[in-house]
Amino acid sequence: MAYNVLVVDDSATVRAVIRKTLDLAGVEVGEFHQAGNGQEGLDAMKGRWVDVVFADINMPVMTGIEMVERMAADGLLKTVPVIIVSTEGSATRIEQLKAKGVSAYIRKPFTPELLRSVVDEVMGVARG
Nearer to other proteins (CB atom), residue 50 or residue 64: 64
- Taking the complex as a whole, how short is the minimal distance between the CB of residue 16 and other proteins, in angstroms? 6
Nearer to other proteins (CB atom), residue 37 or residue 103: 37
DSSP-assigned states of every residue in 28-59: -EEEEEEESSHHHHHHHHTTS--SEEEE-S--
- Taking the complex as a whole, how short is the minimal distance between the CB of residue 53 and other proteins, in angstroms? 19
Helix ranges restricted to H, 1-127: 12-24, 38-45, 64-72, 91-99, 112-123
- Taking the complex as a whole, how short is the minimal distance between the CB of residue 75 and other proteins, in angstroms? 30
Task: Give contact residues for other proteins (rule: CB under 8 A).
Answer: 10-14, 16-17, 20, 57-60, 86-93, 96, 107-109
